[in-house]
Structure 1
Amino acid sequence: MIKGKWESYQMEGNIISVLKEKLKLLKADLKVWNRKVFGSVESDKRRIEMEIESLDGEDDIDALEDAGRLRRLDLLSQLGLVNKKLDSVYRKKARVNWLKHGDFNSKFFHSAIRWRRLKNEVKGVEVDSQWCKEPEVVRREAKSLFKKRFRATQDFGVHLGSVEFRSLPSEVSRNMVVSFSEEEVKDAV
């Protein structure tokens, strides 16, 4: 599609201006093609959400039949797919934005760093049902939380109950830890 469109643009003039104009035309054609092939994902999402909402309204007054319930399940799966598509598009747009403005000493870069710092900051903790912002108390509580969470125990939390495993007879298991002679190795080889 792209190759055909590119070759159909007939222009003359400076090679740079021809390239610029062809890219503009290709961008417009790609937008039309995208709309035709994929549709508008945002409008699909709104339409699906409105239909789910109307089915939920019917269900609230017990007027929803089995066919309506099946339709609602189908719409929910469609909504999941649409959300995945939108998520992918937003991730790609964010990546393009980062590549365009990312590591430069720009307003975008500093706002991204500030947002991440604020998101990761621990502003306080709840101690004995009271919110506390004092740095020393926050440090102490964080340390005790991690000590509790990552404490080594003899019990690894795996309990098999009454499950019995087949085991080797005691004589065979003893023979597995007995040292072997050089002659035994030569015979085995």
Structure 2
Amino acid sequence: MVKKKWNSYPFQGSAFVKFKEKMKCLKGDLKVWNKDVFGDINTSKKRTLQEIEVFDCQDCSGILTEADRLKRSVLVTRLRELDKKLDSLVCQKARVSWLKYGDSCTRFYHSTLRWRRLKNEVKGVEVGGQWFEEPCTVRLEAKKLFETRFKATKDLGVRLDGIEFKSLSTEVSLSLIAVFTEKEIRDVVWQCEGTKSPRPDGFNFNFLKKS
């Protein structure tokens, strides 16, 4: 399906532009294909539970046949598969939502922020055995502390006399600012693990290598 759709997109322009536009169209076609093949998982799960409930009622009444028991076993297996698919879908959506929206605006989230703010708050400083909470005194003592810690001395104690540093050749220096070639990009992609994906809702490197 992917190969057939990929070859059917008639885009013109550079290779990168065609690749980008094809990826956009393929993503939309995959959504349509997923809906046609798998359908709505929640609806399928609800319908399967209703069918299992019918067989359970027949079992309680003592009218469940062996053929019906076999059908119920198949439905239970299907229900487990739907649960796995639903769990996988929830995990994928959670990763996308995390990258898109970040932390949810919940009571737990804000209570955690308040706790961290109170924990990191500097309420006062002790100077000469006395406790001060005035903001001006706290700022002044903090300034003195960091000035003492990070104040540079006149003699750093480092000597670089007589040390020969390695330098890049002219050819290597020019290669650092050269335009990337198609072979270099291909080599980088081929060195990546095939099952990895640049982002949660992207295509993995197996797809990129094959396409």
Quick one: higher RCO (CA 8 Å, sep 6+), 1 or 2? Answer: 2
Provide TM-score, normalisation by structure 2.
Answer: 0.42
Provide TM-score, normalisation by structure 1.
Answer: 0.46
